[in-house]
């Protein structure tokens, strides 16, 4: 059975760069307060060793890697006092923001900020590429395989897109952060939610229609502002 996909305007890819400043801090992962009672020494050691073994950033010395991973552990404990509440992978935004903050706090930001810029570029390109491929299915998906691929591409575009730093988006255009997050990502999320809604067809259609309108606002904005966007 064919399922209708709300018509969306094709997306356009754009890239640029961003920057930040550095600060410093120290870390103590030995907190044994009641709030962090779930983090046993074994759990802390396991996470720290896993981080260090994975060599999170190429080119770091062993000591720099340890300092960086100590910082990541400290932020994770603060955000998740009970490790049992962590299900699966940590949220992309938390991982991304913590990584940048720890580069700054360990004094490594100046050396690796260009890497952060390149990561943002890759994420941005990948997010838009997933959306473009998804919208090539419009206006219909005809098979279960197409439906699965369509929804997967939209979900990937959303999951990757929310990892992109605000600074990167703002560096491309003053309105990019608002348009990308509040129009494209929000719109795609509503389309995805609406498509999966099974119990109430009116709710499903409302979400999909609203989502499509937001995505089209993104595309219309791009067509007007494209010459002002830093490439």
| φ and ψ at residue 4, rounded to 5 degrees | -75, 140
- The larger pLDDT score, comparing residue 129 to residue 135, is at 129
Residue 27 in this model has a pLDDT that exceeds 50: no
pLDDT reported for residue 56: 64
Assessment of whether the complete model's pTM goes beyond 0.85: no
CA dist 172 and 62 (Å) reads 35
Flag whether pLDDT at 193 surpasses 50.
yes
Quote the longest CA-to-CA distance of the chain: 59
For 35-73, the pLDDT digits (tens) are 455 899 998 998 898 888 876 677 888 899 999 999 999
Mean local confidence (pLDDT), 95-111: 86
| DSSP letter string, 149-203 | HHHHHHHHHHHHHTTS-HHHHHHH-TTHHHHIIIIIIHHHHHHHHHHH--S-HHH
Q: Which helix (H) or strand (E) holds 77?
A: helix 62-79
To 5 degrees, how large is the angle CA 75–CA 79–CA 80? 115
- In this predicted structure, which of 3-12, 175-184, 214-223 has the lowest mean pLDDT? 3-12
Residue 31 in this model has a pLDDT that exceeds 60: no
């Amino acid at each position: 059975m064919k399922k209708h996909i709300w018509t969306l305007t094709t997306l356009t890819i754009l890239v640029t760069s961003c920057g930040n400043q550095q600060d410093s801090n120290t870390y103590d992962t030995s907190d044994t307060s009641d709030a962090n009672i779930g983090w046993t020494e074994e759990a802390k050691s396991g996470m720290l060793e896993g981080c260090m073994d994975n060599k999170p950033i190429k080119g770091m010395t062993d000591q720099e890697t340890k300092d960086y991973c100590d910082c990541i552990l400290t932020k994770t404990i603060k955000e998740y006092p009970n490790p049992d509440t962590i299900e699966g992978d940590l949220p992309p935004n938390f991982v991304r923001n913590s990584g940048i903050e720890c580069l700054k706090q360990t004094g490594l930001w100046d050396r690796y900020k260009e890497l952060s810029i390149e990561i943002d570029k890759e994420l941005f390109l990948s997010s838009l590429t997933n959306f473009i491929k998804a919208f090539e299915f419009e206006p219909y998906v005809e098979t279960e395989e197409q439906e699965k691929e369509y929804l997967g591409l939209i979900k990937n575009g959303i999951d990757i897109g929310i990892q992109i730093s605000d600074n990167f988006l703002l560096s491309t255009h003053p309105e990019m952060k608002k348009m990308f997050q509040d129009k494209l990502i929000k719109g795609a999320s509503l389309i995805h939610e609406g498509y999966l809604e099974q119990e109430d067809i009116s709710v499903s259609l409302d979400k999909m229609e609203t989502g499509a309108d937001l995505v089209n606002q993104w595309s219309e904005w791009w067509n007007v502002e494209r010459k002002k966007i830093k490439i």
